[in-house]
Amino acid sequence: MSEKNLLPCIHVAEGDIPPRVLVCGDPQRAERISQRLEGARCLAQNREYWTYVGKHKGVDVAVVSHGVGCGGAAIAFESLWRAGAKVIIRTGTCGGMQPDVTAGSLVVATAACREEGVTEKMIPLSYPAVADGEVVSALLDAARQQSIPVHKGIVLTQALFYPGFLESTVKLYAKAGVKAMENEVASLLVVSSLHGVKAGAIIAVDAPAFELVGVDGYNQTAGAGNVAQAVEDEISIALDAVIRVPLD
């Protein structure tokens, strides 16, 4: 890692990051993903931003954690672009919003509803948060080759984790067919699109979305085994996918 001109928060410098990157919220998950890489080494650990580099099937890959919520995550995504990222895939967890999107399911995001309150400060809400087509295709192809079933469709990126006193739009979006709710994908897709980075996401469902079952009904332990396997599966899919996406 460079000794000078470190980018804010993530504490890596321009040129430190290879073109292909996996991101996730949890620093410990980033560390776990790095253990799948050949010759993995840690570049930086600052706040929620833990950065590792190594190789997957001989191709350079970085793994970076971004914490929970779009405000901090957008810092990571912008910094990764400045540091050299050209393809970014998020691996994370979410709440299911459809009857068949249950704990242990995987969802490949094709787009995201921008309800996170951050990207609207960058560009008007009429600008869509859309996953790169080549990234979506690579994720779906990798899932098929590994015989792992996935859902695909629009996800909802919410500003809040716990519901507040105001009525949320989750039930409305569920009625519209949105697959899952999470907290960072919209910022990844918008920041990446603005900078010409190819981005997408595959996320594991850990329980139904809060607003559909109530906070007391959000039981992550009910399908813990399935969820743990889904997280391992999404990592395998994302690693194979990120090295297949063309850089040009």
pLDDT, tens digit (0-9, with 9 covering 90-100), for 158-190? 998 888 888 889 999 999 999 999 999 999 999
Confidence of residue 220 (pLDDT cuts 50, 70, 90): low
Measured in degrees and rounded to the nearest 5, phi and psi for residue 167 equal -70, 130
Residue 224, pLDDT above cutoff 80: no
Give the tokens for residue 146.
Answer: 């590994």
Q: What residues contact residue 220 under an 8 Å CB cut-off, 6+ apart?
A: 103, 206, 207, 227
Q: Which residue has the tokens 């500003």?
A: 159
Over residues 76-104, the mean pLDDT reads: 97
Is residue 225's pLDDT more than 90? no
Per the structure block, which two tokens stand in for 75? 């810092």
Q: How many Cα atoms sit within 13 Å of 34 on the Cβ side?
A: 23
Window from 32-36, 166-170, 190-194, 231-235 with minimum mean pLDDT: 166-170
Average pLDDT over the chain reads: 94
Please tell me the pTM assigned to this model: 0.95
What is the pLDDT at residue 213? 79
pLDDT band at 1 (very low <50, low <70, confident <90, very high): very low
What pLDDT shows up at residue 155? Answer: 98
| Catalytic center residues | 206
Q: What is the pLDDT of residue 161?
A: 84
CB neighbourhood size of 99 (10 A):
9
Longest dimension (CA), the chain: 51
Above 70 in pLDDT, residue 118?
Answer: yes
The label of the residue with tokens 């350079």 reads 60
Q: How far is it, in rounded angstroms, from Cα 207 to Cα 220?
A: 6
Counts for the chain of helices (H) and strands (E), in that order: 7, 10
Residue 219's pLDDT is 62
Q: In the numeric block, which tokens belong to residue 216?
A: 């007391």
pLDDT for position 4:
64
Q: Is the pLDDT of residue 126 over 50?
A: yes
Residue 3 has pLDDT above 60, yes or no: no
Mean pLDDT, residues 94-101 taken together: 96
pLDDT at 13 over 80: yes
